[in-house]
Amino acid sequence: MINRPYILIAAVTALLTLPTGISAQNNVIDEVVWVVGDEAIYKSEVEEARQEGALRGIRWEGDPYCIIPEQIAVNKLFMNQAELDSITVSPEDVNFQVDMYYNEMVNQAGSAEKLEEYYGMGSDQIKIRLYETREADLIIGQVREKLMERVRVTPADVRRFLKDVPPDDIPYIPTQVEVQIITIDPVIPQEEIDEVKAELREYIERVQSGEIPFSTLARLYSEDPGTARNGGDCGFMGRGEMVPEFATVAFNLTNPDRISKIVETEYGFHIIQLIEKLGDRVRVRHILRKPRIPMTSIEESISKLDSVAQDIRAGKYSFESGVTNFSSDKDTYNNNGLMTHRPEPGMPGISKFEMQQLPQDVAKVVDGMRLGEISDPFTMQLNNGKVVCAIVKLKNRITGHKATMTDDYEILHSMVNNVRREEAIQKWIKEKQRTTYVKISEGWNDCEFLYPGWED
């Protein structure tokens, strides 16, 4: 369920603090249009947000001169509560967000130079403004989470929701499938691994001899598309955001002038250069190289899986036994090969997939399968870029239907939870409106506000 008010709050925050070279103050005689507590909202702020939104193609669901100041006012209520509750965020967390958003912006613009031209300011200024917005967003997020932490949804709540909701509003669940999988990793010859390691050792020598910067080599040769264009820069990251092998080396680096040893992870082989450390976060560059998988290795894995599939079809052993004896997929190995996904962070894995939720390579195969059928072998690319060979079994297909407690409890629970959480936020905003001084200037109050009662 989309949390519309929060999306608007975040959008307005971002718009207000990153002008694109437009100086609204040069075109608008500034005036105070709202007062919330002891905080003023200026006409220039609203105008900047409106013009920025127009440039970004944002379509306001109503009058922007009503929507924008109201959302700024809601932000101020949250920030006031954060001050009362002494809620703060660490500079490390904010800097991580700044780096992530800045890199995304550079990618969208095409280069740092184009980004600076677009915003009419240098990268340092952009990052300063980004720091303000990211800090506010993180603080508001914490306030919201604190307000919603008491929301608890029981099975009885879900049953009551399903009973009370009009029949036409009961969510329709598209056709879902449950899929079991066996994967085999094609063997990578040692000579391919040795060749990649030799290349990485050559890069280390070239950097440490002063011949070429690490960042240039990363742009030229790294096989991590997400960081290569930025010279291998990963931005600030905590240990939990890295695979363990990479994190161990990255956090042990102390000298930016020295390059790490070669590190092997599930993604391939890396070399790493320290940029800087801030508290429990580290910023590094890396170069990723992946050994080539020869076609003969893929063919051998396909042939092996073909035999496994034929034996299962012939009843020599079950698919579950095939998982135990042959599968290399660590995510499904202990679950009889049953694939799962998490629609929301922190929720338990769900085995029912809508077709578009399946990995693309799996969905193509499953789409035309019969219930209980074992597929022919195929190749697929995992999220880490690794290529594996696989067979799948269509364990179950649930035809599209109206949601029920029996078949769709997790989906209904998530829906009710989102409704209850948003109700808690709206209730808090209404209470805050009653206890906060609000003054809206003449001409700015003739609106249908999302939260009525600002001046009641």
Residue 298, number of CB atoms within 10 A of its CB:
18
* Radius of gyration for the chain, computed over Cα atoms and rounded to the nearest angstrom: 27
H-only helix segments in 253-394: 295-313, 319-326, 360-366
Mean pLDDT of 216-232: 92
This prediction has a pTM of 0.63
Query: Taking the chain, what is the end-to-end CA distance rounded to the nearest angstrom?
Result: 30
346: amino acid identity, one letter: G
Task: Tell me the pLDDT band of 54, cut-offs 50, 70 and 90.
Answer: low
392 pLDDT more than 60? yes
3-state SS class at 244: helix
pLDDT attached to residue 94: 87
> Whose CA is closest to 204, among 285, 267, 276?
285
Domain ranges of the chain: 4-151+418-440, 173-187+294-402, 190-289
CATH annotation of 190-289:
3.10.50.40
Summarised one tens digit per residue, pLDDT across range 119-146 is 788 888 888 888 888 899 999 999 999 9
Rounded Cα gap, residues 443 and 65, in angstroms? 10
In CATH, the architecture of 4-151+418-440 is Orthogonal Bundle (1.10)
Fold of 173-187+294-402: Chitinase A; domain 3 (3.10.50)
Mean pLDDT of 201-206: 97
Identify any residues that bridge with 39 across adjacent strands, giving them in sequence order.
Answer: 36
Q: Do domains 173-187+294-402 and 190-289 have the same CATH topology?
A: yes
17 pLDDT more than 50? no
Summarised one tens digit per residue, pLDDT across range 98-118 is 887 887 777 777 778 888 888
Summarised one tens digit per residue, pLDDT across range 63-95 is 999 999 999 999 999 999 999 999 998 887 888
pLDDT attached to residue 197: 97
